[in-house]
Structure 1
Amino acid sequence: MDVFNYSCLDFLFTCLGLVFLLLDIGLDIFAAVSFYQEKAYVSLGILLLFLLGSSVLVQTYSWLWYSYEDFKRETKVESFLNLSQLRLLHWLQLGIYFRHAGVLEMSLRTFFTKCHDPEGFAVFLSHDLSLLRLVETFSESTPQLVLMLTIILQRHQLDPVTVSKAVGSFSAVAFSVTTYHRSLRSFLPDKENQQITSSVVYFFSYLFLISSRVTALALFASVLPCFIFTHFFCSWLVLVFFAWRSKGDFMESPGGEWLYRATVGLIWYFAWFNVVKGRTRYKLLLYHLYMLADISIVCGYWCWKMCTEPSYFEIPHLYAIIASVSIVAVYILGLLFKIMYYKFCHPNLGKNQLKEVKTNMSQTGVGLTTSKSVSGDEVDLAVIMSGVSEATYDFVPQINILREQSDTDVTDGSWPSPPAPGIQRCNKRMRKLAENFYS
């Protein structure tokens, strides 16, 4: 049975992701041209900093992941490029778009031709892309949203149309996080599969949490535009320190691991992100208490500024108080949705399930074909969630020898011809993140 099935819903999310990508590029160009025409050069410079910095970060991750896989290019789109051309494209900040093209190619091939994808390659590619989109969301889209809201507040442009645009932008950010969550779900065992309701609850939790956080930062930046950078830098240093103390092993090189820690600090500045396996209840509680306190302080400062200097923005005292309290209340509402998700929708995979899977493996004969026993504590949770045993990978030659000795239909001792049932290509990066999220 296939572990990674590419469903119609996955194809829909891939198409929506491509639409959002093109829309985001168009809106970025429109915003840059608008700032230039208005001669708002400071805002234009900050916007270009966000765009260029995010692009460099995402392209760096893309290049590192290619290097970790010995620069394998297995789609037709990517096969047109040699190593030098691939390097040049990443230097020109275009490498990520070939990943998009590769995912679209495999998606169309799998969906329209209805061909069997025994290795789950379409899902494998989409996993990397969903993670890169998440990095781009918190390094470009979310900071850019803070900038836009700050300008709107300073120009007194709060109207129903502007508010609707802001809600749409918040929804796009929450959609990106939800897409990442759907990628993690594909690693769950069949019996733990989550319904679409879990994605809806997850979406609303991050919609409220991120909208509250971004709005609070925009209010603070509207009265102290220079100090918002100090606030970010000091908070980011603290968060990177905690990311380092978490002792994760996501990347395969020391430099890449430090880049990942710096990125985690950036994501944590806006929203929670699981980086290590195991129980994170107290870490999550501490993080949200910190975020709630920070939002309360910056909103309280903005409210105090409105009350003591009413000519600053000409906002009535009562409106300022209501706005500040509402932002904090929205964050608490997001926490309630998050508690609802973890209470009713989130499966926790513990040691009992590790032992149960180990027993099932032995019953199917996989454990009997290896020359080394695997105890329940030695089985990796991420491998269990992917439905593939590490022993299958580590002892493939022994399995082939035993098959030959038992006169099975194996024509030669090479792997993977013919493919073993249930063996699929598993994205080890997303597998680690799934282990962190569901353990």
Structure 2
Amino acid sequence: MPTTPRNCNNTRGKMEFFLEILSDIVRFLFFLLDVVLDIWAVVTFYQEEAYISMGVLIFVLVGSSVLVQAFSWLWYNYDSKLLSEEFEFLKKYRNRGLLGVLHVCQLGVFLRFASMMEISLRNRNLSSKDGQKEGIVVFLSNDLRLLRLIETFSESAPQLTLMMTIIVQREEVEWVTGLKTLGSFAAIISSVVMYHRATFKAKVKVKMTWMPSLVYFLWNFLLIAPRLAAVALAASTLPYGMIAVHFLLLWITFFLWAWWQKTDFMDTKTGEWLYRGTVALIWYFCWFNVSHYDCRGRGFMYRFIIAVDSAILLGLWWWDCAQASVFGISAWVVLVCVGSSYIVGIIVNVLYDKLCHPKRSAAKDKSDTDDSENILAPQKACLGGETPSMDEAGMDEAGIGPIKAPSPPPPPKSLTGAQKRMQRLADIF
């Protein structure tokens, strides 16, 4: 017998479920591998008596972990009632004291991954009747991706800068620095691409191809790489204390800018201040839009500030080593490559906005929907007859009586924390 469409849908659903579980497991394994590499790097720096590098690395690891756990804890507080009512696994952790202890022990991410696996296994045969549960799965997955993005720019990006600084200073690539460099680079790639795909899908409501994500990653990489290179080159010659002061001053500036934009992402004032500080941290490395208004103007202003700041850092590095080289490459060549990468990144960014941005797909989908409604309008009239007209007294042409007005739509339900976060990220994307 030929395969029915229902069987095809079931097979496709099982395949998507399998790929989703597999991707979650792979990401979790890479997370564990990153933890092992972190411990190895700390031990190696201790054995080499590189205490400054070891201290910087420990500070970055601990600070990033505490930041991620804080966001996870706040989000669980916002959503704990809804989630615990829907999923058995989280009912065990309705006690906020136990949930807080797990986050203090830096196990919040493990808890979220375990709950996601439990949800996926218990709801692998989701149907249209289980739309609410399916939606919660999507929101939880989106929270994990956002936590991963925060971890990327609070841990992976600083780690990559530190490893690049050590490589430039020693002019050799050791096993630990090489693996940590590749690991941090892979973390930035995966988090940026997965965040783009999740936000794009939430905005456009359609399954997207990989091409927009690749273009999105390309312009981000071409802008992030020269920024990391500028900081690393400056840190290779300047004292670490001067780099710390530079970071603090720029972070305060970005923090005040985020406050001036009146962000409204978290559900509490304390959480909102934490979010603004995190946005300022991300802005030190990469642009992250947080407002609906004048996005292009603010994006241009940000890139101008970063370009000037990076030029100053590169100028300080060149002043100290104008006659030196990096792995045999002249300082002038390094400056040209870094500057060219930033310019090409801006060009690719403009092309992405013109060709691949979700707003273009959303506009196209809206236009297609309007056209289809216009085409189907005559068919609806033929099937149901012409719509009866209303006279001044509100009677139909047959004089039977007033035509009943359609009942008003039910009031929209208030968004939960996870729904609100996903919607706002999609809107400002």
**CA distance, structure 1, for counterparts of residue 40 and residue 88 of structure 2:** 33
Q: How does 1:321-332 map to 2 (within 5 A)?
A: 321-332=332-343
CA 1:255–1:392 in structure 2 vs 1: closer, same or farther (change >3 Å)? closer
CA 1:162–1:85 in structure 2 vs 1: closer, same or farther (change >3 Å)? closer
Tell me if the contact between 2:45 and 2:54 (Cα under 8 Å) persists in the aligned partners. yes
CA 1:425–1:369 in structure 2 vs 1: closer, same or farther (change >3 Å)? farther
Q: How does 1:400-411 map to 2 (within 5 A)?
A: none
Tell me if the contact between 1:118 and 1:424 (Cα under 8 Å) persists in the aligned partners. no
Deviation of 1:32 after TM superposition, in Å, equals 1.1
Aligned-residue Cα RMSD (Å) equals 3.3
**CA distance, structure 2, for counterparts of residue 339 and residue 159 of structure 1:** 38
Local SS of the residue matching 1:270: coil
Unaligned runs of 5+ in 2: 1-12, 378-404
Deviation of 1:160 after TM superposition, in Å, equals 11
Verify: 1:237 aligned to 2:252, yes or no. Answer: yes
Local SS of the residue matching 1:307: coil
Local SS of the residue matching 1:203: helix
Local SS of the residue matching 1:60: helix
Verify: 1:78 aligned to 2:116, yes or no. Answer: no
Report the equivalent of 1:169: 184
Tell me if the contact between 1:306 and 1:315 (Cα under 8 Å) persists in the aligned partners. no
Name which of 87, 97, 106 aligns with 1:93: 106
**CA distance, structure 1, for counterparts of residue 89 and residue 267 of structure 2:** 26
Q: How does 1:18-37 map to 2 (within 5 A)?
A: 18-37=28-47
**CA distance, structure 2, for counterparts of residue 163 and residue 327 of structure 1:** 21
Report the equivalent of 1:60: 70
Q: Which moved more, 1:117-126 or 1:281-290?
A: 117-126
Deviation of 1:10 after TM superposition, in Å, equals 4.7
Tell me if the contact between 2:40 and 2:176 (Cα under 8 Å) persists in the aligned partners. no
Deviation of 1:195 after TM superposition, in Å, equals 2.1
Q: Which moved more, 1:79-88 or 1:151-160?
A: 151-160
Local SS of the residue matching 1:427: helix
Q: Which moved more, 1:281-290 or 1:160-169?
A: 160-169
Tell me if the contact between 1:171 and 1:207 (Cα under 8 Å) persists in the aligned partners. no
Q: How does 1:9-158 map to 2 (within 5 A)?
A: 10-11=20-21, 13-71=23-81, 72-73=83-84, 74-81=86-93, 82-110=95-123, 113-116=124-127, 117-119=130-132, 120=134, 121-158=136-173
Q: Match for 2:220: what amino acid? A: Y
Local SS of the residue matching 2:321: helix
Please give the per-residue CA displacement for 1:246-301, whole angstroms capped at 9, x wherever unaligned.
11111111111111110000000000111112340111111112112222221222
Name which of 347, 355, 359 aligns with 1:336: 347
Aligned length: 374
Tell me if the contact between 2:200 and 2:358 (Cα under 8 Å) persists in the aligned partners. no
Q: How does 1:237-276 map to 2 (within 5 A)?
A: 237-276=252-291
Report the equivalent of 1:215: 229
Tell me if the contact between 2:79 and 2:417 (Cα under 8 Å) persists in the aligned partners. no
Report the equivalent of 1:415: none
Name which of 310, 331, 344 aligns with 1:295: 310
CA 1:434–1:209 in structure 2 vs 1: closer, same or farther (change >3 Å)? same
Report the equivalent of 2:210: 196
Local SS of the residue matching 2:264: coil
Deviation of 1:238 after TM superposition, in Å, equals 0.6
Please give the per-residue CA displacement for 1:312-354, whole angstroms capped at 9, x wherever unaligned.
x7877x711101211121122222222222111113268x969
**CA distance, structure 2, for counterparts of residue 336 and residue 45 of structure 1:** 38
Deviation of 1:425 after TM superposition, in Å, equals 11
**CA distance, structure 1, for counterparts of residue 162 and residue 351 of structure 2:** 31
Question: What is the percent sequence identity of the aligned residues?
Answer: 40
CA 1:166–1:326 in structure 2 vs 1: closer, same or farther (change >3 Å)? farther
CA 1:195–1:209 in structure 2 vs 1: closer, same or farther (change >3 Å)? same
TM-score by length of 1: 0.76
Deviation of 1:12 after TM superposition, in Å, equals 5.0
**CA distance, structure 2, for counterparts of residue 24 and residue 78 of structure 1:** 27
TM-score by length of 2: 0.78
Q: Which moved more, 1:74-83 or 1:23-32?
A: 74-83
CA 1:278–1:195 in structure 2 vs 1: closer, same or farther (change >3 Å)? farther
Q: Match for 1:48: what amino acid? A: I
Local SS of the residue matching 2:196: helix
Q: How does 1:381-392 map to 2 (within 5 A)?
A: 391-392=411-412
Name which of 284, 288, 302 aligns with 2:299: 284
CA 1:371–1:122 in structure 2 vs 1: closer, same or farther (change >3 Å)? closer
Please give the per-residue CA displacement for 1:142-162, whole angstroms capped at 9, x wherever unaligned.
111111111111112159997
User: Radius of gyration: which is bigger?
Assistant: 2
Tell me if the contact between 1:124 and 1:425 (Cα under 8 Å) persists in the aligned partners. no
**CA distance, structure 2, for counterparts of residue 307 and residue 236 of structure 1:** 29
Report the equivalent of 1:402: none
**CA distance, structure 2, for counterparts of residue 244 and residue 55 of structure 1:** 24
Tell me if the contact between 2:161 and 2:228 (Cα under 8 Å) persists in the aligned partners. yes
Q: Which moved more, 1:8-17 or 1:225-234?
A: 8-17
**CA distance, structure 1, for counterparts of residue 121 and residue 265 of structure 2:** 30
Verify: 1:347 aligned to 2:385, yes or no. Answer: no
CA 1:426–1:264 in structure 2 vs 1: closer, same or farther (change >3 Å)? closer
**CA distance, structure 2, for counterparts of residue 204 and residue 27 of structure 1:** 26
Deviation of 1:11 after TM superposition, in Å, equals 4.6
CA 1:426–1:268 in structure 2 vs 1: closer, same or farther (change >3 Å)? closer
